[in-house]
Amino acid sequence: MTKQRWVFEPGHTSAQFSVRHMMITNVRGHFKDIEGFIEIDPDNPTDVTVEATMKTADLWSGDTFRDEHLRAGDFFDVENHPEITFKGDQVSYLGQNDLTLGGDLTIRGITKPVTLDVQDLGRWDTPFWEDGQDKGPITRAGFSATTRVNRHDFGVSWNGTLDKGGVVVSDTVVITLDVEALNTPAQ
């Protein structure tokens, strides 16, 4: 059977990051307009390919000064590394709606293996609107995925020390992806 192809809908797909700041709180940010797809063989649901790309310049954390620092060489270095990518194809089902997805995450040109904990949020047939026109029904799928990475593994090593001990930015970053994908003909 032909694989089903699900294309990320950019307006309803996002990636968020959260990192401990000054030892006492979390700073959150997100990337918008993520491009990607999922290809899956319905007869063999472990035969999956997932690819996602986000533009590092599109990050937003709610503070203009911090956003500029995050885009600079100390962090994402957007001039030299304009994209973050994920490519995954290692699936293990843990239950009806829970699975893990292993693959390669590339940040700042450094690729490392990661495992995403994924929740399959289901499928739904809905109208599909484009340019103000109802193009008929389409099936949508929803997923939420989370992983933790050590930012130093990807060359994101800037930090400052606090007078009473501790650091400005923690090593661990929690990454969450919320994906809405549209079923399209396989290519």
pLDDT in tens, 30-50: 998 799 999 998 888 889 999
Evaluate whether 34 touches 57 at the Cβ level (below 8 Å).
no
Q: What topology does CATH give the domain 4-184?
A: Lipocalin (2.40.128)
Per-residue pLDDT reduced to its tens digit, 133-186: 677 788 999 999 999 988 788 887 755 554 565 545 667 788 999 999 999 865
Q: Where are the domains of the chain?
A: 4-184
Amino acid at 96: Q
Average pLDDT estimate for 81-107 = 95
